[in-house]
Structure 1
């Protein structure tokens, strides 16, 4: 009986022992997976929130920087006329879509406003007699810096941020002339920063009137600022700051799904892990194909649209230039007709490789459609330098393309150039200018399709 009992214990005990070992190992792996996923999720939130913070900070400070030109002009021309002011204000408003109106308040009394239509009632407003306006005005004068108030509900509708910049005719306090004020539309700012486009993360902003963590929450869910999982990043203003909080939507978390794997056994766990790995690989591949050309592997037009918007915003903020090259392969259509699409794809891949080899690591080549490519080169300021680069691209693309065996084909290339910001400050204008330049070059060269 004892030997039978011992045998039964052995038969039951050994599998149980291994089951416990496997269960403990599975639990440990699950714990490591949760920690790793949490770290990746945290990194993803920090990256995305950082991108939104950078864009929002850039949009705000770029817009506020425009006021400095008006301040400098008035400091040098204290008797600025209504016509001159309107002309300057109109130019400033063309530089950014966020400005709703601009005003001058000599001796803290509004004397100039643009646009005048719809803002007539603001003329003659005395800041120091207005309890709602007085604190920000006093703060701007005392700090001698631009002060941001709001966001707040505007009398004319909507929500806005008001910046007030003090104007001094000299370094002496007695030389105080008055204020330059600007009203920015916050919905426009939010849209430009991507804050309102978020589908994977939720955001909140606090720091009304530039008060940072001491200020009110003016966008999103206030509970984000007390959540352990939320990331908080400061947004620097000329005086004061806002704070951005970001957290993934609860629906996106997968810890519960991972919890269902507990106790399912080693084989089932491996199957689920394999399925999850295959699913993530497929999703990653789908995401990659959505932003890359399947033939050349280059970023596609969707990737270009997102990239160029960020580059334009950053370049405006840093006052930097870049050149856009619009490239079209000449005599490419006959290759497809004579040799077939496989050979045509081979030529496209080789053309893409040659363009990429010419570019520094941080500069991208995009395949827009068919045999058209776009290259963006940062730091190019003069036309001659851009033309030289375009010539180098043409030379590289016109070298013979080897096919199977000893065969080779030759094609031509035309490159159109546009410069930012001298020829445009939007993607549409830059593409149009480069395309016009390309068409002119085709006519000069007699280029084919």
Structure 2
């Protein structure tokens, strides 16, 4: 009799254990799946937000850089005559407020800047021989395309980037020869102001704008909301003239919502306890 009672008790405990383990497996799978779906939805939402900011950055830079074509056309029409540079440059700066300065660099050497005040140190700078500038300058000349160089520390102080448009004039043989560069200078962080990146921070996200540095091949951070590395960020491409930047965004506290996860686990524990109580109660009311 005693052995039968002990056997029934062991069977009862085994049954409770099996039910509990099955519940744990099911609850774990459900919590994992629900978190996976929630994170996927959150990443999609953040990707949309990042995409909006990436488009704003790209549009702002493209608008500022488009002034290079107007200035380049002037050089072509005047065959390199620089007399009207100041007047035209000042007019362009009124229509393109994102511009910090406009420059003319015949033969790759900066000779004219508007405004000159505060930019005097850049006069006489040879873009084609400076080891910190020449790679992107040569790319612009070789590709014959407007090319955004930088960001880098400016000779006149501060952080900026330069859009360089190579200008080619007709030569005596019926072809063209390199005249020099028309340069559009933008400064940071002013160049990113219209993208309203601060709103991402206010909403609980950190961001980085970065590029692959053409000289080192390493990640070069242009602007960031934090010095900490982002955890599994979403990334959106920012196409700038003849180059590519990337905007990365991630939640400050990571993708896992610890509060929501804790609630799910607490609910699972409560249900587990309830399942055990109900199983034991059923076994007592239905003895073998």
Deviation at 1:198, TM superposition (A): 1.9
Structure 2 equivalent of residue 135 of structure 1:
135
Deviation at 1:243, TM superposition (A): 2.4
SS of 2:116's partner is coil
Q: Which has the higher contact order (CA 8 A, sep 6+)?
A: 2
SS of 1:110's partner is coil
Distance 1:133 1:15, change over 3 A: closer
Is 1:201 paired with 2:202? no
Compare CA radii of gyration and give the structure with the larger one: 2
Deviation at 1:174, TM superposition (A): 4.1
Is 1:105 paired with 2:131? no
Structure 2 equivalent of residue 247 of structure 1:
250
SS of 2:71's partner is helix
Q: For 2:104 and 2:64, how far apart are their aligned partners in 1?
A: 17
Structure 2 equivalent of residue 58 of structure 1:
59
Among candidates 228, 237, 240, match of residue 237 of structure 1: 240
Is 1:186 paired with 2:191? no
Q: TM-score, normalised by structure 1?
A: 0.52
Q: Quick check: 2:80–2:179 contact (8 Å CA) kept in 1?
A: no
What is the RMSD of the two structures over their aligned residues, measured on CA atoms? 3.2
Deviation at 1:214, TM superposition (A): 4.6
Q: For 2:154 and 2:56, how far apart are their aligned partners in 1?
A: 24
Deviation at 1:145, TM superposition (A): 1.1
Deviation at 1:211, TM superposition (A): 7.4
Q: Quick check: 2:205–2:249 contact (8 Å CA) kept in 1?
A: yes
Deviation at 1:86, TM superposition (A): 2.1
- Aligned pair count reads 265
Q: Quick check: 2:135–2:214 contact (8 Å CA) kept in 1?
A: no
Structure 1 equivalent of residue 42 of structure 2:
41
Q: TM-score, normalised by structure 2?
A: 0.77
**Residue ranges of structure 1 left out of the alignment (5+ in a row):** 270-449
Deviation at 1:39, TM superposition (A): 0.9
Q: For 1:103 and 1:32, how far apart are their aligned partners in 2?
A: 57
Is 1:258 paired with 2:276? no
Distance 1:156 1:126, change over 3 A: closer
Q: Quick check: 1:99–1:184 contact (8 Å CA) kept in 2?
A: yes
Q: Quick check: 2:163–2:241 contact (8 Å CA) kept in 1?
A: no
Deviation at 1:161, TM superposition (A): 0.6
For 1:315-345, what per-residue CA distance to the aligned partner results, in whole angstroms no more than 9, with x for missing partners?
A: xxxxxxxxxxxxxxxxxxxxxxxxxxxxxxx
Matches within 5 A, 1:238-317: 238-250=241-253, 253-255=256-258, 257-259=260-262, 261-262=264-265, 264-266=269-271
Deviation at 1:88, TM superposition (A): 2.1
Distance 1:108 1:213, change over 3 A: closer
Structure 2 equivalent of residue 219 of structure 1:
223
For 1:130-149, what per-residue CA distance to the aligned partner results, in whole angstroms no more than 9, with x for missing partners?
A: 44443333222111112222
Deviation at 1:159, TM superposition (A): 0.9
Q: For 2:262 and 2:49, how far apart are their aligned partners in 1?
A: 27
Deviation at 1:261, TM superposition (A): 3.9
Structure 1 stretch 111-120 or stretch 246-255: which is displaced more? 246-255
Q: Quick check: 1:212–1:243 contact (8 Å CA) kept in 2?
A: no
Structure 2 equivalent of residue 156 of structure 1:
156
Q: Quick check: 1:168–1:177 contact (8 Å CA) kept in 2?
A: yes
Q: Quick check: 2:121–2:155 contact (8 Å CA) kept in 1?
A: no
Matches within 5 A, 1:59-138: 59-82=60-83, 84-138=84-138
Distance 1:213 1:25, change over 3 A: farther
Deviation at 1:181, TM superposition (A): 0.6
SS of 1:182's partner is strand
